[in-house]
Structure 1
Amino acid sequence: MAMDVTGNGAGDVLAQLLAEAVRIVAFTGAGISTESGIPDFRSPGGIWSRMAPITYQEFVGSEAARLEDWRRRFVMNAEFARAEPNAGHRALALLLAEGRDLNVVTQNIDGLHQRSGVPPARLVELHGNATYGRCLECGARRELEDVRAEIDATGRAPRCPACGGLVKAAVISFGEAMPQAAMERAVRLAESADLLIVLGSSLVVHPAAMIPVVARESGADLVIVNRDPTPLDGVATLVLREAIGPVFLRLFPQLGEK
């Protein structure tokens, strides 16, 4: 049975679990980024309730869909650029700076973990990253400013300078295969973790939502910090139904210092 507590009591329990853990995995979802002002995708009133997502098949098959996808990406990335990493992001970077064995597995595509100080070697992006583009044929990276300049100059969706393949934002679209290497790495990390902390994920998006299950079944303590109930609350060690930032500000008051 999960221990469901809030406030100082929750902080004491989480602090103890963090102190005792050797290998920690943070599993982050949209909720950690909404606290930085980035809109949610799936919630009522979220982005996809206002516009249908463009599928991978639509992107590949239609020039009009490609141009619309890029238009949306530029708008979205302007929002990402205005956002700042919050106390939740910075707490994970702080733990790493202290030398803790921590890895971040994220469903987010906004680049805030990198901007908070989490190095790429400690980050697994299950759904990709929207802050740059990638060729669908050869995998070459394209920077967004170059993509925008090409679209402005030609009126057409960008192509790879190296091989001529289609360039898409480096995110996993609906209908696109999940990145196998990232999933396999996330599973390995979950299997070896002593503690997995879910931060702001509803745990309903699969196959990503299997990662906390793998950790729990492998013997790790499971902590869920999410404002709403999740399907795994009943098997968690600790459930905190509150915002992520305040939880970590209680644990690390220095995060609130300027």
Structure 2
Amino acid sequence: MAFIEFIQPSWPVNKSVFCVSTTTSGGVSTSAFKSLNLGSHVGDDPHNVELNRQRLASELKRFVPDVKPLSWLNQTHNTNVLRLSAPTDAGKVEADAAFTNMPNLPCSVMTADCMALMIANTDGTEVAAVHAGWKGLLNGVIENTVKQFSSRRSEIHVWFAPSICQQHFEVGEDLKTLFSKFPSALKASTVKNKTLLNLIEVANLKLDELSVYQRYYSNICTYSSVNLFSHRRSTHQGISTCGRMANLILIK
């Protein structure tokens, strides 16, 4: 049986904060979902998804013995932030970010190219997970999440989990226009009428406006990494779907 692999941040927050991103390794799914697909909405065998989620839960207990069940959000590229005080039933809450100040309660979001921002205060008493695709990013999911924190902005730290990098995120004229107020995030593509969009740069500009300056980066591109799920890479390979990774953070 393959082991579940974690990608973790290196950041100066209290050691009580546990934060990881999963990879494709360690699950039971096959074909386009091989192997640790954690998304129940992408066409995978529901039984395999449940087994994968159980495997992840068991692995988390090795690091956090009292960890509570994950709350799997119904992510719809909105700007809703769920304030978690107890685990929620999978898919019952429509939100693209979660915040908590309760111990052993994971905040998690799923991705397969979109940005995931993991946020914690210095003391490790407040944490949040944000799913920021282009739509949620543009409409304010980061701003709405930062507002949940009672800590001073100078005490808020943000880690950028693996996501698609600019060189592989080609967009059309419609998105170029929508992001025109972020010119530093736009770069001409070699393809006519196409633009390369830098989602991380947009997030950085928004965090600047929020006076949240302590940021840390995985510097891992999902498209370029064969051990990570990438919806765009799958599409370019003629595959209509792919699995989802989990990005989670909690207070031990």
Common topology (TM > 0.5) = no
Q: Which TM-score applies when normalising by structure 1?
A: 0.30
Greater relative contact order (CA < 8 Å, ≥ 6 in sequence): 1
The structure number with the bigger radius of gyration is 1
Larger helix proportion of the pair: 1
Larger strand proportion of the pair: 2
